[in-house]
Amino acid sequence: MRRHRGALSDHKDHTMKIQGSTAFVTGANRGLGLAYAQALLDGGARKVYAAARDPATVQLAGVVPVRLDVDDAAQVAAAARDCADVDIVVNNAGITTGTPLLAEDGDAALRKLLDTNLYGVLAVSRAFAPVLARNGGGALVNMLSALSWLSLPQSTVYPVSKAAAWALTNGLRLELRAQGTLVVAVHAGYIDTDMVKAVDAPKSRPGDIARAALAAIEANQTEVLADDTARGVKAGFSATPPAYLG
């Protein structure tokens, strides 16, 4: 396996470095995506593509704004074509809803979330997989949630989309292993962003989550329990009753 700037090295453990890498972050204009872009710059990335539905909303100095709606197949294809030097892809873009599953419009709400949180991740991953392969393997980071593993009374639709995205991530890891791509699943609880600004609960800082994910890339780790909530939920699998049974 050849070296390529920040791509997987030809060392035995194929460790990748953020320093000198070229990264692509979806939903990078605000919140956690903005924190990922900043952490990549702070880590010495050579170039950071900051993707957003409206690239004019990308205000972070030092990044390359890219127009991307992950639900738009043509825009996904164009991004992969135009950003052909990428060796790290961060699937961060996501949406949520307060609609219950059994509400009259619960099925429509679920389809909307799956379009972005599941099929959007798949579309970006599929489009960039050949790019990562050409550039030495690289890393694919999928931003998941502690709610990949359980539901809450006030949040029943969103966890379905994140549980599906977790299974998708595990499948992508298997399919991309042969080309040397590290696939990283990042789980966290509430993060202090606009998405959950109305939630009154402890929240992690976006920068802490982003830095934990980038550290996992450099440590060649496939799963990140990025905060106490994620660690507690995962540990609760072995409880009686397990955490996911509420």
Mean pLDDT of 16-28: 97
- Average pLDDT across the chain, whole number: 92
* pLDDT of the residue at 15: 81
Query: Could you tell me the CA-to-CA distances from 130 to 45, 92, 118, 124, 144 in Å, in that order?
Result: 21, 20, 20, 11, 23
Residues 25-35 as b or e (16 or more Cβ within 10 Å = b): bbbbbbbbbbb
Task: With cut-offs at 50, 70 and 90, classify the pLDDT of residue 14.
Answer: low
Residue 108 structure tokens: 């429509």
61-99 pLDDT, tens digit per residue, is: 999 999 999 999 999 999 999 999 999 999 999 999 999
Mean pLDDT of 173-189: 98
- The answer to whether the CB of 137 falls within 8 A of the CB of 179 is yes
* pLDDT of the residue at 7: 37
Residue 82 structure tokens: 């135009």
Task: With cut-offs at 50, 70 and 90, classify the pLDDT of residue 241.
Answer: very high
23-66 pLDDT, tens digit per residue, is: 999 999 999 999 999 999 999 999 999 999 999 999 999 999 99
Taken in order 225, 204, 123, 34, is the CA torsion positive or negative? negative
* pLDDT of the residue at 216: 98
Collapsed DSSP state (helix, strand, coil) of residue 128 = helix
* pLDDT of the residue at 193: 65
Is the pLDDT confidence value at 165 over 80?
Answer: yes
CATH class given for the domain over 22-245: alpha beta
Query: Could you tell me the CA-to-CA distances from 5 to 2, 35, 85, 142 in Å, in that order?
Result: 10, 22, 10, 22
- The answer to whether the CB of 149 falls within 8 A of the CB of 237 is yes
Distance between CA atoms of 85 and 132, rounded to whole angstroms? 8
Is the pLDDT confidence value at 10 over 70?
Answer: no
Q: Which residues are catalytic?
A: 158
Mean pLDDT of 219-241: 95
102-145 pLDDT, tens digit per residue, is: 999 999 999 999 999 999 999 999 999 999 999 999 999 999 99
Collapsed DSSP state (helix, strand, coil) of residue 209 = helix
